[in-house]
Structure 1
Amino acid sequence: MKTHLALLRGINVSGHNMIKMEALKTTLEAVGFQNVQTYIQSGNVFVDTEEENPAAVGFKIKQEIFKAFGHEVPIVVIGKSDLEACFKNNPFLKEKDLDIKKLYVAFISTTLKSESINDLKMSQVKPDDASIDGTKIYIKYAVGAGKTRFDQKYIEKKLNVTATIRNWNTVTQLLQLYEER
């Protein structure tokens, strides 16, 4: 059995794509996922399965969500090592006087090259800052996530990828949950 973490994008936001986590858990268990565990209403779902391929797991979850709830939900599936890398490779964690509340991670559907940072045209979203690390973009917002153009839609448009963003507190909690499994 392998544990996967599915990060669902855009559910239960401002009354759109509403999915109760208990109903999602029941739906995923009904199609064979085991040890299904959700974390907060924004769509973080741990599943155990024999399937090794994260993309296949994401595709199956996406299909089941559409069948059960009628929502087309983009999903990025990550492993424990992806979360561990956030703590090891996030360059903003080295900064003195860092406000953790302004630190986020965008999880990306495909591996990015370091030169992809040029495609983000960061000068258009300054003073926000970002750093690319494979399938993650570490983000440090100057003011906050609610007052920026540098959001998931911006990232997806500039890089032609699927992206979903989590704040640093959620990333920390998800790693802790992974370790408890």
Structure 2
Amino acid sequence: MKTHLALLRGINVSGHNMIKMDALKTMLEDVGFQNVQTYIQSGNVFVDSEDESPSAVGFKIKQEIFKRFGHEVPVVVIGKEDLEACFKNNPYLKENHADTKKLYVAFISKELASGALNDLKMSQVKPDEASIDASRIYIKYDVGAGKTKFDQKYIEKKLNVTATIRNWNTVSNLHALFSK
């Protein structure tokens, strides 16, 4: 049995793709996931599964959400080691006086090639900054997430991937929950 963290993108945002967390939890239990635990309303769900493959777990969750709720919801599934790597490898945490309110992580559906940072064309989104580590993009927004072109749609278009972004506070809380 392996614990996975499913990061659902675009649910319960501005009245779109509304899914109550209790209903999501029940649906996931109904299809065989165990120890289902949700965190906040924006689609962070821990599940235990016999299936060790994150992509298979993500596909099953995405498929069941569509069947039950009629929403096409991108899902990125990660493990505890992915969250631990966020803390170890995030270059912006190593800066003096890092403003964690401006730090975000984009979790990507597949491992990125070494040239992916060039593909992002960061000059188009300056002064925002990014650093890539495997299937994560560490983001440091200059002003904030609400005032940038460098969002999940931009990343998906430039890299042809599925992405979902979490702020550093959420990443920290998810890591704490994984460690319990």
TM-score bracket, normalised by the shorter chain, equals over 0.9
Counterpart for residue 76 of structure 1: 76
Q: Deviations over 1:103-146 (max 9, x none)?
A: 00000001002311000000000000000000000000000000
Return the offset for 1:96. Answer: 1.0
Return the offset for 1:168. Answer: 0.2
1:91 and 2:91 correspond: yes
Counterpart for residue 58 of structure 1: 58
1:148 and 2:148 correspond: yes
- Give the secondary-structure state (helix, strand or coil) at the position aligned to 2:93: helix
Distance 1:97 1:55 in 2: 37
Letter in 2 for 1:79: G
Q: Deviations over 1:25-75 (max 9, x none)?
A: 000000110000000000000000100111110010001100110000000
- Give the secondary-structure state (helix, strand or coil) at the position aligned to 1:157: helix
Distance 2:31 2:156 in 1: 30
Counterpart for residue 110 of structure 1: 110
Superposed CA RMSD in Å reads 0.5
Distance 1:158 1:23 in 2: 34
Stretches of structure 1 lacking an aligned partner (at least 5 in a row): none
- Give the secondary-structure state (helix, strand or coil) at the position aligned to 2:150: coil
Return the offset for 1:97. Answer: 1.8
1:31 and 2:39 correspond: no
Question: Matches of residues 163-174 of structure 1 in structure 2 within 5 Å?
Answer: 163-174=163-174
Distance 1:171 1:113 in 2: 23
Q: Deviations over 1:70-97 (max 9, x none)?
A: 0000000000000000000000011112
Distance 2:39 2:5 in 1: 10
Distance 2:91 2:99 in 1: 14
Distance 1:118 1:174 in 2: 30
Return the offset for 1:158. Answer: 0.3
- Give the secondary-structure state (helix, strand or coil) at the position aligned to 2:3: strand
Distance 2:131 2:114 in 1: 8
Distance 2:109 2:138 in 1: 15
Distance 2:60 2:97 in 1: 42
Counterpart for residue 127 of structure 2: 127
Counterpart for residue 7 of structure 2: 7
Q: Name whichever of 121-130 and 94-103 sits farther off.
A: 94-103
- The number of residue pairs the alignment matches comes to 180
Distance 2:97 2:36 in 1: 38
